[in-house]
Structure 1
């Protein structure tokens, strides 16, 4: 998928706003690296960086990626611009079973780890889990792709934190299941997100963070 998107970007980039072209260029560079990796840990990390490059938001200035206002607007925009319904196809056809497994996996649900840290009682985290499952199942039942992706990415972000903050062992047997499922999903979603941004080159995507400075 990288090669196709890169060739398209070379052909079209002069017609893109500079910021969009830079974001796509960066995202594709990390997608290329991810496609060269043979282990799930590396693939997931590089895919997340590719998504972050496309998203181009300064997460450091926010307390929690799971806050709806931070990422739901971006996902809603992507879904709205998805004229060919590729993301809907991923959610409802290609990966519906994997998505349910991810959403039901307590080890990538942040409230579970808050309970383990003593920040929540067992009753509280179980209640949060029940609410999250109800919201996810309702979205799945109603065909609400945006909400499903928003909930899904909150799980992916927990896994991202575990890896990037040293909260997991490289190639550990204990997290293979969730890492395999999440990596497989990101492998499909990230190129589609980048492609939709290229399709919507006339939209306002905002400036890239850490813009290229030429001296």
Structure 2
């Protein structure tokens, strides 16, 4: 846990040095997220998948945050506007891009998008923190792919809103995630990638 937290904090610190470079800030914050959640054992042999690892991480964080409700407060009081904007943006919806790339079976992406948005709104109204985080990070993951895999132009005016909002959401949530992990050092947060080896 100490190594995970140390690495996550180091990347949060680097992200804070980015000034107005929202692309770089988002990428550094995503690295911080990877340091916090990714479990090396999930990528050995039969993997449960990255999305399932997200969900497990969010469930554990939420269980340890039941009393303080720091994540709930952040989502509902500090970032409800940017999160709703993010969720209503079909340019960071995976099925939209599957359809744009000509993949069969995604012709009804608009219907799927509306269903997803309604499900998110219901989870938001119900105060279901793990489910809300899952929806938000599903969208952020598409944005991450666009940036990391060269599917966007640096500092492009086309995707500024989602990059800015995504970076702001991560910048606020990552320190909370780390704080919860530090407050619960006996939780099995998984084995970090590339542990320090002598």
In 1, the alpha carbon distance for the partners of 2:73 and 2:57 equals: 19
By percentage of residues, which structure has more helix? 1
Structure 1 gaps, min length 5: 1-19
Q: Aligned pair count?
A: 193
Q: Could you tell me how far 1:121 is from its partner in structure 2?
A: 5.8
In 1, the alpha carbon distance for the partners of 2:149 and 2:39 equals: 19
Instruction: Please provide the CA RMSD for this pair.
Output: 1.7
Normalised by the length of structure 1, the TM-score is 0.85
| Residue of structure 2 in register with 1:180 after alignment | 164
Q: Which moved more, 1:55-64 or 1:36-45?
A: 55-64
Normalised by the length of structure 2, the TM-score is 0.92
Structure 2 gaps, min length 5: none
Distance 1:60 1:120, change over 3 A: farther
In 1, the alpha carbon distance for the partners of 2:176 and 2:14 equals: 17
Instruction: Describe the SS at the equivalent of 1:203.
Output: coil
Of 23, 26, 29 in structure 1, the residue corresponding to residue 4 of structure 2 is: 23
| Residue of structure 2 in register with 1:7 after alignment | none
| Residue of structure 1 in register with 2:140 after alignment | 156
In 2, the alpha carbon distance for the partners of 1:116 and 1:123 equals: 9
Instruction: Describe the SS at the equivalent of 2:2.
Output: helix
Asked if 1 retains the 8 angstrom alpha-carbon contact of 2:15 and 2:25, the reply is: yes
Give runs of aligned pairs for residues 58-73 of structure 1, distance below 5 A.
58=40, 65=50, 67=51, 69-73=52-56
Misfit runs of 4+, over 6 Å: none
Asked if 1 retains the 8 angstrom alpha-carbon contact of 2:38 and 2:53, the reply is: no
In 2, the alpha carbon distance for the partners of 1:131 and 1:57 equals: 31
Of 44, 48, 67 in structure 1, the residue corresponding to residue 30 of structure 2 is: 48
In 2, the alpha carbon distance for the partners of 1:209 and 1:194 equals: 17
Asked if 2 retains the 8 angstrom alpha-carbon contact of 1:111 and 1:120, the reply is: no
Whether 2:63 is the aligned partner of 1:80: answer yes
Instruction: Describe the SS at the equivalent of 2:194.
Output: coil
In 2, the alpha carbon distance for the partners of 1:32 and 1:204 equals: 25
Distance 1:64 1:73, change over 3 A: closer
Q: Could you tell me how far 1:203 is from its partner in structure 2?
A: 1.2
Relative contact order, CA 8 A, sep 6+: which one is greater?
A: 2
In 2, the alpha carbon distance for the partners of 1:24 and 1:168 equals: 30
Distance 1:135 1:213, change over 3 A: same
Asked if 2 retains the 8 angstrom alpha-carbon contact of 1:23 and 1:56, the reply is: no
